[in-house]
Each structure stands twice: as structure tokens, then as C-alpha cells.
């Protein structure tokens, strides 16, 4: 299976996934939104006719941080649901041999016991601020298992934890935790201002370096053919307060930190049980959080496009 389509292959995670597959001899097509609207059945049919393949890796998603989720819940639900449902159905009809569906940790219930085990996915409703997005992506798991049961369609479902790394989205209107904090800290340092941070700092998160995530997705595509969901993470959590202090240390920011407790923390804790990924396809994260943050900060400070947008 050496001809594949990687949706979202031009995005943050997608560029690293494309590179990983190319290094291993795959022929890759990355669809662009200007050519194909992946929410539309007709466009997906046309894409598969014009670019026949053996496998689809579905990374494309409409996504954002807490603020973006609060402002755009309907778009996040509809766009992500329609992309996943239509792609899996048309892939089946086209006779594609394997479909790798990339979900999200937001699919887990709000109060899942830590560490999150795949068996806990259906034990409650997701955290409210990102439930529409999380549930839309979670439907790919339902569809994958149903299609395997009825049609024998080989579709696998993986759940990455929060990602970060060079090339991330640093736009404060839609960025996730780490890029948003890096930008805020460096802006505060540059302008000699206090650092303003949402929430109490007591929530915890787990973060996976983007190159490790790409490795995990590649290994799942190569080695895993099961119907059960699999977590992708490093298995270690950090409180947001400690994360902010670490970023301040790495950027030499010594100003005051103001916590806006009127803003939501999001899900109280996030940390995955990652044993199944190691057991099923041999994945274990390699990059420490501090090393990954150093690389991300260095990239941000040295990227000309980022400087034009952010400063």
C-alpha cells in the first residue's frame, strides 16, 4: 500500500506526517481545500477518481482553542462530522484498503479517571467547551467499527493528545495552549508588560511533540489493523501553572503573571494511558517536554513569517 492520500497534509501535523511517509517510500497526494471541499460527497468522489490510492490518512479538521470552540461550536461539529462520515463511506465504496482516522482527546468524558484508558471513552459527556468538536471526531470511531463489522472495511482510529512543535498555529484567536502561551510570554517580554493567562492554572494537560505524533500515526498505518481505539501520547501530565513557569524560564521572562479566573480552565485533567500504542504497534514518545518547548520557541523566534504575523 504505497499510494496514499493524506488529508490535512499541508497543516501543522500533516507536514510532519507527509515527511514521515515520504521517507519510507510512499507516494502521497495532499488534497487542498481550493480543489476539493471534503464536506461534500461529490468533491470526495472526484478526488478519489482523480487520485486513486490504497490508503487514506485523515488528518484534516477544523480546530481551535477554548475561545474558538466557544465561538464556533456549530461549525466545529458540522464540518468535522461531515468530513469524516463522507470520507469513510466514499473510501469504502472506492475499495480503498485502509483508512486511518485521527481523532482527538476532546472525545473523552469530562471527568475521566487519570490516566485516560480507551475503555473510558463512552463513560460520560465530553467537557462542554469542546464537546461539539470532540463528538464529531468520535463519530469516526463508531463508523469505523460499524463498517468493519458489516463490510470488513479496515479502518483504524487513533486519539492524539494535545500536540505542539515547530510550525504550530500562533494566532491567539484559534491557537492551542502551548503556542498561545509562547506567544503571550514573548509578547509580554518584548513590550515589558504583565503576562495575562486564562483560568486558575490548576488544570493539567499532556502534550505530545509533533514529530513523535507523526511517528505514531505512521506506525499505526503500517502495523495496526484492529477495531479498538488507541491513545497517542507520552503518558505524562503537567499543570498549566507549571507549564507557564517552564515557558517563562525557557524564554527568560521575569515579569508578573496575572491569572484571569473568570475564564474557563477546560477539562480538569488530561493524561493518557499509552500502553496500548506500545503494545499494538510499538510506539513510545521520545521527546521530553522541555526539549520540545526549546525547539518550538527557537522556531518561533527565527521564523520570518511568524514574526510578520505576530509582531
Catalytic positions are 133
Cα distance between residue 198 and residue 48, in whole Å = 43
Q: Which three cell numbers stand for residue 103?
A: 481523532
Cα distance between residue 227 and residue 93, in whole Å = 19
Cα distance between residue 302 and residue 190, in whole Å = 15
Cα distance between residue 16 and residue 9, in whole Å = 8
Cα distance between residue 219 and residue 280, in whole Å = 9
Cα distance between residue 57 and residue 48, in whole Å = 13
Pairing label, strands 207-209, 257-260:
unpaired
Handedness of CA 99, 167, 136, 268 (dihedral sign): positive
Range list of H helices, the chain? 12-23, 41-50, 66-71, 73-93, 131-151, 177-191, 210-223, 240-251, 275-281, 289-302, 304-310
Amino acid at each position: 500500500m504505497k499510494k496514499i492520500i493524506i488529508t490535512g497534509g499541508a497543516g501543522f501535523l500533516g507536514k510532519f506526517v507527509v515527511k514521515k511517509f515520504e521517507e519510507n517510500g510512499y507516494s502521497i497526494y495532499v488534497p487542498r481545500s481550493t480543489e476539493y471541499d471534503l464536506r461534500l460527497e461529490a468533491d470526495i468522489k472526484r478526488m478519489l477518481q482523480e487520485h486513486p490510492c490504497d490508503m487514506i490518512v485523515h488528518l484534516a479538521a477544523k480546530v481551535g482553542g477554548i475561545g474558538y470552540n466557544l465561538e464556533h461550536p456549530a461549525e466545529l461539529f458540522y464540518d468535522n462530522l461531515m468530513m469524516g462520515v463522507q470520507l469513510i463511506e466514499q473510501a469504502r465504496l472506492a475499495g480503498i484498503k485502509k483508512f486511518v482516522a485521527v481523532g482527538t482527546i476532546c472525545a473523552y468524558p469530562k471527568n475521566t479517571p487519570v490516566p485516560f484508558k480507551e475503555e473510558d471513552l463512552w463513560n460520560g459527556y465530553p467537557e462542554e467547551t469542546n464537546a461539539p468538536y470532540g463528538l464529531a471526531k468520535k463519530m469516526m470511531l463508531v463508523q469505523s467499527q460499524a463498517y468493519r463489522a458489516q463490510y470488513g472495511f479496515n479502518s483504524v482510529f487513533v486519539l492524539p493528545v494535545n500536540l505542539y512543535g515547530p510550525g504550530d498555529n500562533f494566532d491567539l484567536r484559534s491557537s492551542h495552549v502551548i503556542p498561545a502561551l509562547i506567544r503571550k510570554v514573548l509578547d509580554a517580554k518584548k513590550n515589558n508588560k504583565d503576562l495575562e493567562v486564562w483560568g486558575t492554572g490548576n488544570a493539567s494537560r499532556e502534550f505530545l511533540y509533533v514529530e513523535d505524533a507523526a511517528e505514531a500515526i505512521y506506525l499505526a498505518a503500517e502495523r495496526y489493523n484492529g477495531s479498538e481505539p488507541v491513545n497517542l501520547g507520552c503518558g505524562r501530565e503537567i499543570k498549566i501553572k507549571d507549564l507557564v513557569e517552564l515557558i517563562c524560564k525557557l524564554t527568560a521572562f521575569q515579569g508578573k503573571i496575572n491569572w484571569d479566573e473568570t475564564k474557563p480552565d477546560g477539562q480538569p485533567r488530561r493524561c493518557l494511558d499509552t500502553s496500548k500504542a506500545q503494545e499494538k504497534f510499538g510506539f513510545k514518545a521520545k521527546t521530553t517536554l522541555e526539549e520540545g518547548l526549546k525547539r518550538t520557541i527557537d522556531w518561533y523566534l527565527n521564523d520570518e513569517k511568524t514574526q510578520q504575523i505576530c509582531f
